[in-house]
């Protein structure tokens, strides 16, 4: 009995000691200041300035035409901006030399920063159709940024003005501050009007003639930009500029069934713990995906190299009856998370306020008027006191866009004629899904071959100071990037990565 008592006493002592070692008093504790210090140390990786990412100053640039002074913007008097953003030029410019022309596009032009290039001109447009490029300027790649949740504007150290002069244009007619009655029927009409605007712009700002031109944009600009580029290539004497290449992010390139429907259910499985849909819904979605020929599509058809033309899964370019899984997923996601954001799936409550009133899937105006609808802002950038909304309430294509998607029409020609072409896609974007873009690329023929011939390697996009942040692949003049953690607006959600991809397009980096 004494041996048993001794063994029992030993075991009891061991258990008491173990409990004491793991008591709440000895549990991991971390002070708030230590948390902040560690976060700041990690954030330094994203703030390491590249050779062109700087925070202040501009290169000297002057314009000899007296009319240029009508558009000059005092960088010390931008409402709510408590720092000097430097000189810029903004206002309305007609789309033709016709004295009775009533159609005008709004532009805001910034010269390059101290390490930017004076030899280049970078053009930016947002998509929509009918959404303002001032969103891009204010929340993505402009010299000052006022993004979701920010109390006030701050310097954007990854402004694209640190690379080049940048021209943000609200186009087509009917977008933002731009004036006149929309009358375009298709993308060729849009391109002709935009080139007409650029002709008038270069008449006033003539020192920009002969520059190397790069066209960029996102979303529906995946249609705009290739058609504009194709128009310029096919009308080589229209502009005294040398078009070098294009950059399009999360682009609309093909049919909705390809870029939204086919990859939608696989996308939810990839991010199951983000969507948090119950198993009943997931089982139903899987059954519909199988019935509608979405299931297994990527494995069967998206090969490197392609085995042939990639088929539509049904008869519709949108979705066959009963096959609209994208909208089913959106509705189901909203039931779980009413703040669900199709532009960045990680968002939850609270919805961060937005100075432009449209931070995600739904409009949310917490301060009125929104920034670009303020009279003092309009006065600073030389526009009349007319209503402004981020996305137009009128149809900029009055009878619809009569053009084919760009990947099915002009994009191959543009890639072949450009020195470099870049397509970027945020992997957390649900409105246009990256795997859908892969389908588009593998079904597109350029440079004499269909699609990429070798696979896109995982973790192949290396961001300076950060490491692998996605995937990239280059063949025959086209470079494709996928960016982890980024939603639809890559320069907003992953500005350092976007900056690096633009440096590559413009030849300031030899490798992606």
Q: Which of 256, 354, 429, 464 is catalytic?
A: 429
Q: What angle do CA 314, 317, 321 make, to 5 degrees?
A: 55
> CA dihedral in degrees (417, 495, 351, 270; nearest 10)?
70
Q: With CA atoms as reference, report the closest residue to 469 among 452, 494, 487.
A: 494
The DSSP H or E segment spanning 497 is helix 495-505
CA–CA distance, 424 with 469 (Å, rounded to integer): 13
The answer to whether residues 421 and 268 touch, using CB atoms and an 8 Å cutoff, is no
| Active-site option among 120, 216, 347, 488 | 488
121 vs 394: CA distance, rounded Å: 30
3-state helix, strand and coil shares in percent for the chain, rounded to the nearest 5: 35, 15, 50
Residue with tokens 């669900």: 340
Active-site annotation holder among 50, 132, 216, 219: 219
Residue 388's nearest CA partner among 420, 407, 365, 411 is 365
Q: Is 429 an active-site residue? A: yes
Q: Can 488 be counted among the known catalytic residues?
A: yes
The question of whether 425 is a catalytic residue gets the answer: no
Q: φ, ψ for residue 5 (rounded to 5)?
A: -60, -40
Question: Is the torsion defined by CA of 372, 375, 381, 386 positive or negative?
Answer: positive
Taking alpha carbons only, the member of 295, 366, 360 closest to residue 334 is 360
Q: CA 247 to CA 224: how far, in whole Å? A: 11
With CA atoms as reference, report the closest residue to 446 among 501, 473, 409.
409
DSSP 331: H
Q: Where are the beta strands (DSSP E) in 62-146?
A: 72-73, 88-94, 104-110, 117-125, 144-145
Positions marked catalytic: 219, 429, 488
């Amino acid at each position: 009995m004494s041996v048993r008592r001794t063994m029992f006493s030993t075991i009891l002592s061991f258990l008491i000691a173990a409990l004491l070692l793991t008591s709440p008093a000895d549990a991991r504790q971390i002070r708030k200041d230590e948390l902040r210090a560690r976060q700041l140390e990690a954030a330094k990786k994203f703030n390491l300035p590249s050779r062109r990412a700087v925070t202040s100053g501009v290169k000297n640039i002057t314009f000899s035409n007296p009319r240029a002074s009508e558009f000059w913007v005092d960088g010390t008097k931008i409402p709510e901006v408590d720092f000097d953003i430097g000189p810029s030029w903004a206002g309305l410019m007609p789309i033709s030399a016709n004295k009775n022309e009533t159609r005008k596009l709004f532009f805001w032009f910034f010269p390059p920063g101290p390490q930017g290039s004076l030899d280049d001109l970078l053009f930016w447009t947002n998509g929509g159709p009918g959404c303002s490029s001032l969103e891009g300027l204010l929340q993505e790649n402009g010299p000052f940024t006022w993004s979701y949740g920010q109390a006030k504007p701050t310097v954007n150290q990854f402004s694209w003005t640190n690379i080049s002069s940048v021209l943000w244009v609200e186009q087509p007619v009917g977008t933002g501050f731009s004036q006149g009655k929309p009358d375009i029927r298709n993308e060729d009409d849009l391109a002709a009007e935009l080139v007409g605007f650029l002709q008038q712009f270069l008449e006033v700002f003539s020192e920009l003639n002969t520059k190397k031109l790069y066209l960029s944009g996102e979303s529906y600009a995946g249609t705009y930009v290739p058609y504009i580029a194709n128009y310029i290539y096919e009308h080589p004497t229209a502009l005294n500029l040398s078009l070098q290449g294009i950059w399009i992010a999360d682009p609309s390139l093909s049919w909705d069934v390809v870029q939204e429907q086919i990859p939608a259910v696989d996308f939810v499985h990839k991010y199951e713990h983000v969507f948090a849909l119950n198993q009943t819904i997931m089982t139903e979605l899987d059954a519909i995906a199988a019935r509608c020929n979405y299931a297994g599509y990527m494995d069967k058809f998206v090969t490197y190299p392609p085995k042939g033309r990639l088929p539509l899964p049904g008869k519709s370019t949108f979705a066959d009856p009963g096959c609209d899984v994208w909208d089913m997923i959106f509705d189901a996601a909203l039931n779980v998370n009413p703040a669900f954001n199709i532009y960045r799936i990680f968002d939850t409550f609270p919805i961060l306020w937005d100075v432009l009133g449209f931070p995600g899937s739904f409009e949310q105006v917490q301060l009125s008027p929104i920034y670009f609808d303020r009279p003092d802002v309009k006065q600073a950038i030389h526009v009349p006191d007319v209503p402004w909304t981020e996305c137009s309430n009128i149809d900029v294509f009055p009878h619809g866009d009569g053009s084919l998607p760009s990947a099915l029409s002009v994009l191959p020609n543009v890639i072949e004629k450009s020195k470099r072409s870049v397509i970027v896609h945020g992997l957390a974007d649900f409105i246009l899904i990256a795997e859908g873009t892969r389908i588009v690329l593998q079904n597109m023929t350029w440079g004499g071959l269909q699609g990429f011939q070798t696979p896109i390697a995982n973790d192949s996009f290396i961001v300076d100071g950060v490491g692998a942040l996605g995937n990239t692949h280059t063949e025959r003049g086209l470079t494709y990037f996928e960016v982890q953690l980024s939603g639809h607006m890559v320069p907003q959600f992953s500005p350092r990565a976007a900056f690096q991809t633009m440096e590559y397009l413009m030849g300031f980096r030899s490798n992606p």
